[in-house]
A and B are shown apart, each in its own frame.
Chain A
Amino acid sequence: SQKIEQNSEALNIQEGKTATLTCNYTNYSPAYLQWYRQDPGRGPVFLLLIRENEKEKRKERLKVTFDTTLKQSLFHITASQPADSATYLCALDGDSNSGYALNFGKGTSLLVTP
């Protein structure tokens, strides 16, 4: 069956350090991989999308890598700030039979302390 796995344990880091979150998947051949941020009780907010033929993408302090051989994506936040504290979700589109059905991992909670 298809699985998207993210670290279930919360990640605690100090302000200014780089946070690295991992997303592993099985039984998917995604055209895209996406990362979202979610704050408690609110809807997810889209951050970055990376295509299967892209290795890396950057946006301000965010960097995403995508390794289709390892079936893994890494999400980095450099120079982290307390305001970056949130849950980060990885999402993949389904296969060609399911159209654009976006499936989410359960998320990793990030806490950045001053």
Chain B
Amino acid sequence: EAQVTQNPRYLITVTGKKLTVTCSQNMNHEYMSWYRQDPGLGLRQIYYSMNVEVTDKGDVPEGYKVSRKEKRNFPLILESPSPNQTSLYFCASSSTGAGYTFGSGTRLTVV
């Protein structure tokens, strides 16, 4: 089944403790992206990648890092999480000229 898999689905962590949210797709898509969704603010793009080793900042990149060493994986790294990064995160992937396939989301709480 074609899908984008994010892990974990839920995560509660403490301020400053580094964490990684994994994202993997099995559709051989070139494009991958990370979004966060907050009430009243909608979906905002954090980082995106146009292919292996090619990444760029979205609208809200501060406090996040990404890497794209393999085509299928696009992890999101929070080096020192803070409470304002509490949010619902989505990973998504796409091929050229097609719609995005989204993962099921990761609900992150930073206390």
Find B105's partner among A43, A45, A100 (CB 8 Å cutoff): A43
Chain A contact residues, majority secondary structure: strand
Cross-interface CB contact of A98 among B56, B92, B94, B97, cutoff 8 Å: B56
The reply to whether the CB of B100 lies closer than 8 angstroms to some CB of chain A is yes
Tell me which residues across on chain B come within 8 A of A104, comparing CB atoms: 35, 42-43
Residues A35-58 near B (CB distance < 8 A):
36, 41-49, 51
In the docked arrangement, what's the CA distance between A53 and B96, Å?
17
Q: Sort chain B's interface into a size bin.
A: 20 to 34
Contacts A98-B56, A99-B48, A100-B31; is A43 near B42 (CB within 8 Å)?
no
A102 to B101, CA, bound (A): 12
Chain B residue, CB-CB nearest to A6: B42
Q: How far, in whole Å, are A46 and B103 apart by their CA atoms in the complex?
A: 12
B interface: dominant SS: strand
- Closest residue to B90 on the A side, CB-wise? A43
Q: How many residues of A contact B (CB 8 A)?
A: 24
Report, nearest first, the 4 A-B pairs whose CB atoms are least far apart.
A46-B99, A43-B102, A106-B42, A104-B43
Interface residues of B (CB under 8 A from A): 4, 31, 33, 35, 40-43, 45, 48, 50, 56, 58-59, 88, 90, 92, 94, 96-105
CA distance A106 to B44 in the complex (A): 9
Complex contact A44–B48 (CB within 8 A): no
Contacts A100-B48, A101-B48, A105-B42: A43 and B97 contacting too (C-beta < 8 A)?
Answer: no
Q: Say how far B79's CB is from chain A's closest CB, in angstroms.
A: 23
Contact assessment for B100 and A101 in the assembled complex, using a CB-CB cutoff below 8 Å? no
Contact A100 B94 (CB under 8 A): yes
